[in-house]
């Protein structure tokens, strides 16, 4: 019965480790995410979990030492003396899910409405992005404008 194990890779060598494991005929999972690097349209593929890789091995017939000594691999993740086993459902969900950041297509001055949290259904004025996943908004509270930082997925444009 094969199980999924968690590997710890050497710095910035996850792709190398995955390639070398594939050459050995070992099934692996290396979840990645596409992130926008700058304000331009350039994006890059980066690891979802830097330095970690999931491998599927049979505990009775696999050579764990060969996997451990694969180029790019540092060691197995252990829980005490036992190797860390990862639930198959979790790995399958990571393999099937296509993680992409929420794109922000708002411009400064746009009227937006919050859809979640304590400011739900409150209208605000979009100011600027705050990283890749959040934005800064101006909300009118007690006749004064206050800046708040919210997730991009919690705002929508008002028509």
Model confidence over 27-67: pLDDT tens digits? 999 988 776 555 545 667 788 899 999 999 998 888 899 99
With a cut of 80, say whether residue 93 has pLDDT above it.
yes
pLDDT in tens, 105-138: 788 888 999 888 888 888 999 998 877 678 889 9
- pLDDT for 102 equals 47
Spatial distance between the Cα atoms of 48 and 140, rounded to a whole number of angstroms: 37
- pLDDT for 155 equals 87
- pLDDT for 26 equals 92
| Percentage of the chain modeled with pLDDT above 70 | 89
Q: Please give the model's pTM, rounded to 2 decimal places.
A: 0.59
With a cut of 80, say whether residue 159 has pLDDT above it.
no
pLDDT grade for 100, boundaries at 50, 70 and 90:
very low
| Percentage of the chain modeled with pLDDT above 90 | 43
Mean pLDDT of 65-71: 93
């Amino acid at each position: 019965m094969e199980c999924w194990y968690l590997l710890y890779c050497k710095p910035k060598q996850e792709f190398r480790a995955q390639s070398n494991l594939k050459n050995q005929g070992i099934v692996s999972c290396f979840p990645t995410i596409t992130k926008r690097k700058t304000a331009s349209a350039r994006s890059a593929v980066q690891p979802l979990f830097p330095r970690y890789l999931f491998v599927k091995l049979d505990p009775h017939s696999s050579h764990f030492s060969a996997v451990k000594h694969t180029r790019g691999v540092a060691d197995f993740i252990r829980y005490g003396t036992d190797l860390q086993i990862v639930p198959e459902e979790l790995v399958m969900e990571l393999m099937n899910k296509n993680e992409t950041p929420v794109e922000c297509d708002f411009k400064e001055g746009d009227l937006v409405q919050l859809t979640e949290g304590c400011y739900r259904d409150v209208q605000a004025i979009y100011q600027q992005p705050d990283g890749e996943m959040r934005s800064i908004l101006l909300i009118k509270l007690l006749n004064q404008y206050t800046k708040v930082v919210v997730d991009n997925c919690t705002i929508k444009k008002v028509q």
